Amino acid sequence: MVENQFLAEAQKAYAEFEKLSGLELVAHSVKTGTSNPYSKLLGVNVVKAEDGHVWLEAEPKFEFYNPMNRIHGGWLASIMDCVLGCAILTKLGPGIGAGTVQLSVNYVRKVSVESGMLRAEGRVMHSGRSMLTATAEIRDSMGELCVHGTGTFLSYKK
């Protein structure tokens, strides 16, 4: 029952968001501190958004550890996809969505709870009629590069 109520409320909210440009939608997340259900699950928050440029934060937690006693690469790849996707979203108009068609992730430093708050920065490199590309970095609380990557996205009418 609660899940159905949440779904109904989410669908109503999404219908309202359809009227916003991507930049307006991401700026709304910054202003209100709200995010989509998947970002909430990951613990990702959008902290700043400009045209073609987005900053996120996420706190590594023990729940995201792998058997090697470090943060699972899949969690970091999801954050990479989030920051890349939010960056390209800022280039899209109302009623236009986008999906990931390619994601490349490079892990260059161990991430653990001791890494502190992670800061991810994504930038659009190309914004075409139907294809967009972006690049991003994830750094630890000391500013050290942990992950970098790129993504390609296909835009579509919702």
Question: Domain residues for 119?
Answer: 21-157
- Residues 38-53 have pLDDT tens digits of 888 999 999 999 999 9
Q: How is residue 39 written in tokens?
A: 């970002």
Q: Which residues in the chain land under pLDDT 70?
A: 1-14, 16
Residue 4 domain-assigned?
A: no
Residue 7 domain-assigned?
A: no
Q: Structural domain tally of the chain?
A: 1
Q: How many Å apart are CA 157 and CA 33, to the nearest integer?
A: 26
pTM for the predicted model, two decimal places? 0.90
User: What CATH number has the domain bearing residue 152?
Assistant: 3.10.129.10
